[in-house]
């Protein structure tokens, strides 16, 4: 393994899902739903397969139907207009979109600022691109993990090339507010930074008095021309195995990202691209239904984890709950060590979770936090809660 990748072992998701299979524990670790997305979307994929659409290499930028649907979605939901021919690129999931964006836009030695804890592929993609990651730590305050805007500002140096953002944020469930996004936008304009923004959980937001709707960074003044926005069908439509993602940006930035993408996979997911085009055009009631379903599950698991003795950071978006294990006491929390806790949990309680420390450079800052996924059937969550209460 070369030096760029030497620090990265097997991803925690593979490790923990294998542990779940081996022990038969309930898997609240890796984020994937235990029920598939809508039947009509599955049928659309079957139709595409049967009609021979996408069974051979699709066009490099993605099939025209999907590019049009992505552009239509950005216009309908956010009032953002993108030219489907020049400003939309289909990728093999958001993972490839992230990797291709960094490979295309970062020079060796450039600094890339990422919110810590960060999704694990960010660190590896920055490393593959030869960049230096500069984490800015989200810190718990009043029940939410919060970005310190002064810290973000201080992290920018003359070597900073881009900000890699994620809202709604995995693993903390934080949704950045209008004010926070406006400040980030101002900073990006002032310091002439590019922004790659991972918005794969855009539809999984539990709006209430304290939670803003998801706002795309590209909709802020001066941002459209410097922002690469990333989306994915995996989360919104519950088809994580299809690996259909997309990028929207300016023609120049999309062309740059495509230059890298074409040598990673060239193209992917032919028939599924047609199906996702139909999914993006589902009525608003679909998107509302997903949110309502997940909100109930968030509430169930939050209440259960609280009752089991965890401190719960109630997420505003995504399908993850971050908890602090220290209130469980020294014994049960393995001295507040999330890694040790998660390694032992399948045997001790029959549940799998993810130690947030893997998403940190400052491991000690993430040590006591553990993430549980709630994109599971209600009875599965209820069963997990009973097991955790008996811990």
Shorter beta-carbon distance to ligand PMP: residue 345 or 354: 354
- Return the residue of 20, 26, 27, 30 that touches ligand GLN, per CB under 6 A: 30
Strand partners, 27: 352
Tokens representing 100? 């291709």
CB nearer to ligand GLN: pick between 11 and 255: 11
Q: Mask of contacts with ligand GLN, 108-147, x by CB under 6 A?
A: ----------------------------------------
- Nearest approach in angstroms of CB 28 to ligand GLN is 10
Residue 78 binding target from ligand GLN, ligand PMP, none, CB below 5 to 8 Å by type = none
Q: Judging by beta carbons within 10 Å of its beta carbon (0-12, 13-18, 19+), is residue 17 exposed, middle or buried?
A: middle
Minimum Å gap between C-beta 201 and ligand PMP is: 7
Report d(CA 67, CA 86) in Å as an integer.
Answer: 9
In whole angstroms, what is the distance from residue 109 CA to residue 133 CA?
A: 10
- Cβ 79 to ligand GLN, closest distance in Å? 28
Residues 91-120 that bind ligand PMP (CB under 6 A): 93-95, 119
Contact call for residue 170 and ligand GLN (CB under 6 A): yes
Which of the listed partners (ligand GLN, ligand PMP, none) does 11 bind, with a CB threshold of 5 to 8 Å by partner kind?
Answer: ligand GLN
- Give yes or no for residue 315 binding ligand GLN (CB under 6 A): no
Q: Which stretch in 90-98, 270-278, 297-305, 339-347 sits in contact with ligand PMP by CB under 6 A?
A: 90-98
Tokens of 17: 């899902």
Q: Which residues pair with 208 in a beta bridge?
A: 211
CB 158 within 8 Å of CB 110:
no
Return the closest-CA partner of residue 215 out of 195, 225, 201: 201
Residue 298 and residue 206 in contact, taking contact as beta carbons nearer than 8 Å: yes
Residues 5-44 that bind ligand PMP (CB under 6 A): 31
Binding partner of residue 237 among ligand GLN, ligand PMP, none, CB cut-off 5 to 8 Å per kind: none
Q: What is the CA radius of gyration of the chain?
A: 20
In the complex, the smallest distance separating the C-beta of residue 27 from ligand PMP, rounded to whole angstroms, is 14
CB of 204 to ligand PMP, least distance (A): 10
Q: Considering only 89-97, 219-227, 280-288, 361-369, which stretch makes contact with ligand PMP by CB under 6 A?
A: 89-97
Nearer to ligand GLN, 21 or 46 (CB): 21
For 46, the token pair is: 């079957």
Q: How far is the C-alpha of 119 from the C-alpha of 166, rounded, in Å?
A: 9
Q: Name the packing angle between helices 39-50 and 270-280 (round to 10°).
A: 140
For residues 377 and 249, give the distance between their C-alpha atoms in angstroms, rounded to a whole number.
36
**What are the φ and ψ backbone dihedral angles of 235, each rounded to 5 degrees?**
-80, -55
Min separation Cβ 333 and ligand PMP, Å: 25
Q: What's the residue count for the chain? A: 391
Report the DSSP beta bridge partners of residue 355.
370
Q: Which residues bind ligand GLN (CB under 6 A)?
A: 11, 13, 30-31, 170
Q: Which residues bind ligand PMP (CB under 6 A)?
A: 31, 93-95, 119, 166, 170, 198, 200, 232, 234, 240, 245
């Amino acid at each position: 393994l070369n030096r760029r990748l030497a620090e990265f072992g097997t991803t925690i998701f593979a490790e923990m899902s294998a542990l779940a299979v081996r022990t038969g524990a309930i898997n609240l670790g890796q984020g994937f739903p235990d029920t598939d997305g809508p039947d009509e979307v599955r049928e659309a994929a079957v139709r595409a397969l049967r009609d021979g659409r996408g069974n051979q290499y699709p066009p490099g930028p993605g099939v025209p139907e999907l590019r049009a649907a992505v552009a239509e979605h950005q216009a309908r939901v956010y009032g953002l207009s993108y030219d489907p021919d020049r400003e939309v690129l289909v990728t093999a999931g958001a993972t490839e979109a992230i990797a291709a964006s960094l490979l295309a836009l970062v020079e060796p030695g450039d600094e890339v600022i990422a919110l810590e804890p960060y999704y694990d592929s960010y660190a590896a993609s920055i490393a593959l691109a030869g960049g230096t990651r500069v984490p800015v730590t989200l810190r718990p305050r009043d029940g939410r993990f919060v970005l310190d805007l002064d810290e973000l500002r201080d992290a920018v140096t003359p070597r900073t090339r881009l900000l890699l953002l994620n809202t709604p944020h995995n693993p903390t469930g934080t949704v950045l507010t209008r004010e926070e996004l406006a400040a980030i936008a101002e900073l990006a304009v002032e310091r002439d930074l590019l922004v790659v923004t991972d918005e794969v959980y855009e539809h999984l937001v539990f709006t209430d008095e304290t939670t803003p709707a998801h706002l795309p960074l590209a909709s802020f003044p001066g941002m459209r021309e410097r922002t690469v926005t990333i989306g994915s069908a995996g989360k919104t439509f519950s088809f994580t195995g299809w690996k259909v993602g997309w990028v929207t940006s300016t023609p120049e930035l999309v062309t740059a990202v495509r230059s890298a993408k074409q040598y990673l996979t060239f193209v992917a997911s032919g028939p599924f691209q047609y199906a996702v085009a139909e999914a993006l055009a589902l009525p608003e009631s679909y998107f509302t239904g997903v949110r309502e379903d997940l909100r109930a599950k968030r509430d169930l698991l939050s209440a259960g984890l609280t009752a089991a003795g965890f401190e719960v950071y109630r997420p505003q978006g995504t399908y993850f709950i971050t908890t602090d294990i220290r209130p469980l006491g020294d014994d049960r929390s393995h001295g507040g060590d999330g890694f040790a806790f998660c390694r032992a949990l399948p045997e001790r309680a029959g549940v799998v979770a993810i130690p947030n420390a893997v998403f940190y450079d400052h491991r000690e800052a993430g040590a006591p936090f553990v993430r549980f996924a709630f994109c599971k059937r209600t009875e599965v969550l209820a069963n997990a809660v009973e097991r955790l209460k008996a811990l």
